[in-house]
Chain A
Amino acid sequence: MVSSQNESFLNPQQHLREIEVSLNFMDLIHSQRSRYEEQARKLLKERHFEIEIEGFLITYSVKNERFVSEIFSKDQKLASYESEIPIPISEEEKISALVEFFAHSEAGKIG
């Protein structure tokens, strides 16, 4: 069941922002999948890497059995963000989880 009861928590502007983020997320999952899969393999191999996208520096790392992303605006005038997810067991699950994780990290802050 999909509930809208809890979303009275958000005001109209925040509703629009939530929609924007979810659309960004969906678009990124599809349009950037090959880049994300490549990034996932890189992260699993090197356990750390950084990318710069549209004025944001994004650092991905493996810490304490979690995948971690940290996002900073390069001019440091905007809020910064961090996300963590648990690391799945199988390689296939790791790649899949990271693709979603990368899209989530970029969707909320970029675009």
Chain B
Amino acid sequence: MLNLRATKSFVLISCLTAVSSLLPIQSVSAADTTDKEKLPCRIQINSPHISSNIFRKTGLRAVKVNAFSICNVPQSNVTLTVEIWKNGIFSNHFVFKTITRSVGTTSPERKIPNYNTFKVCTSFESTTYNGVAHSKAFINSKWQYARDTFSIKNKPLKCGT
């Protein structure tokens, strides 16, 4: 069942962003999600980190970025893209990209995750990575697109790739 208040907010925000055809998605990093007012849809992305799970279980060091899309209205056919880039002297360098395409309709408040974006470290070279995510979804009878959401607190990691 739709939340009426949320639906009204969504329609209002949709109208405000219609010119740019951008989904009203809040850019939220993992560290700052508690105090801000939640918009009807948002992408949440965490900062690049060396996965302790992967390290503990396999001995491999890998840089990883997790993200999910969530709405408080139904969304369908959600495409969530997550990319890892590493900082360079003159420009950033592409490292890895994954895209998850869900099928069918997703209930409000259900996360569409993309937790499969990781790259194994090949050295201990100090490297600063950044993560970026964007999405596409069918909401309220139309395709809507979410702008890039960037990770924050990107610290140097001892992980060359």
Chain A positions within 8 Å of B97 at CB level? 82-85
| A100-B120 in contact (CB<8A) | yes
Stretch from B14-22, B34-42, B56-64, B133-141 forming part of the interface with A: B56-64
Closest to B68 in A: A9
Chain A positions within 8 Å of B103 at CB level? 76-80
Chain B positions within 8 Å of A76 at CB level? 103
Main secondary structure of the interface of B (DSSP, over half): strand
| B101-A81 in contact (CB<8A) | yes
In Å, the complex CA distance between A14 and B116 comes to 11
Interface size class of A (residues with CB under 8 A): 35 or more
Within 8 Å of chain A (Cβ to Cβ): is B53? yes
Closest to A68 in B: B97
| B52-A2 in contact (CB<8A) | yes
| A6-B47 in contact (CB<8A) | yes
Contact A7:B51 (CB < 8 A) given known A82-B98, A83-B98: yes
Within 8 Å of chain B (Cβ to Cβ): is A51? no
CB within 8 Å of B: which of A32-76? 66, 76
For the complex formed, measure the closest distance between the CB of B52 and the CB atoms of chain A, giving whole angstroms. 4
In Å, the complex CA distance between A10 and B67 comes to 10
| B51-A22 in contact (CB<8A) | yes
Within 8 Å of chain B (Cβ to Cβ): is A90? no
Closest to B103 in A: A79
Chain B positions within 8 Å of A14 at CB level? 113, 115
Stretch from B4-12, B88-96, B142-150 forming part of the interface with A: B88-96
Name the one of B47, B49, B58, B113 contacting A23, with C-beta atoms under 8 angstroms: B58
What are 13 A-B pairs with beta-carbon distances under 8 A?
A: A1-B158, A2-B51, A2-B61, A3-B52, A6-B49, A10-B66, A10-B115, A15-B53, A76-B103, A78-B103, A82-B101, A83-B96, A104-B118
Query: A residues bordering B, Cβ < 8 Å?
Result: 1-10, 14-15, 17-19, 21-23, 25-26, 66, 76-86, 100, 104, 108
Closest 3 CB pairs of A and B: A4-B52, A6-B49, A82-B99
